[in-house]
A and B are shown apart, each in its own frame.
Chain A
């Protein structure tokens, strides 16, 4: 029974990844997403990738240590997503601070709207799981924690970008 549940979870994850990839391809075709960066932005993104990678390594180490010391407090899949989301958040914040997050052809409002919608969907799912009592089982965060974790990441990135956007607009007007 556990084996079939694991297979079901695995298939669900693969389907989610496939749908996500398809969504990204569609966004690129619609020119909502783009990867054209100028030389300064490429350099800044390189530095941001280094910070993100270092963060990922630290997060994975902390997760491993915490699992060894405290026991299983989080599902493995959720732990992977948590580590990746923290690293991606650090990458995004460094990029945003150096004006290298959005490419030359991306429209800020469109991207931020997309982030807001995705954050809302994921956080709503998280709220449903909390209400159903399926987010935490036997004192352990389940794989369902992936959605609220992703939602929080998107919300943090959105908030940091919005703050920078408003500050830059104010400086331009002055």
Chain B
């Protein structure tokens, strides 16, 4: 399932996928895969992304009902 909340949170801070990837220490393709729903990140990576985007885990990664 696509993670559009992550994409919009990243866009809100005017960050490219590469910039977010560099900030959390992963490849751009990994960020792309998370946003497309092709990869489920570990909790550690989720937390690192939340820290950079200043959002909570629920806001970015909890499944929408």
Q: Which residues of chain B have C-beta atoms less than 8 A from A104's C-beta?
A: 25-27
How far is it, in angstroms, between the C-alpha of A99 and the C-alpha of B26 when the chains are bound?
A: 12
How far is it, in angstroms, between the C-alpha of A104 and the C-alpha of B25 when the chains are bound?
A: 8
Chain B interface residue number, banded: 10 to 19
Whether B41 pairs with A41 at a CB distance below 8 angstroms is: no
- Least distance between A23 CB and chain B CB atoms (Å): 26
B31-51: contact bitstring with A at CB < 8 Å (1 yes, 0 no)?
001000001011011000000
Whether A38 pairs with B27 at a CB distance below 8 angstroms is: yes
How far is it, in angstroms, between the C-alpha of A39 and the C-alpha of B26 when the chains are bound?
A: 8
Check: A40 CB closer than 8 A to any chain B CB: yes
Q: Which of A40-85 contact B (CB under 8 A)?
A: 40-41
Chain A interface residue number, banded: under 10
- Majority-rule SS of B interface residues: loop
Query: Which residues of B are in contact with A by a Cβ distance under 8 Å?
Result: 25-27, 29-30, 33, 39, 41-42, 44-45
26 A-B interface contacts by CB (under 8 A): A38-B25, A38-B26, A38-B27, A38-B30, A38-B45, A39-B26, A39-B30, A39-B41, A39-B42, A39-B44, A39-B45, A40-B26, A40-B27, A40-B29, A40-B30, A40-B33, A40-B39, A40-B41, A41-B27, A41-B30, A99-B27, A99-B29, A99-B30, A104-B25, A104-B26, A104-B27
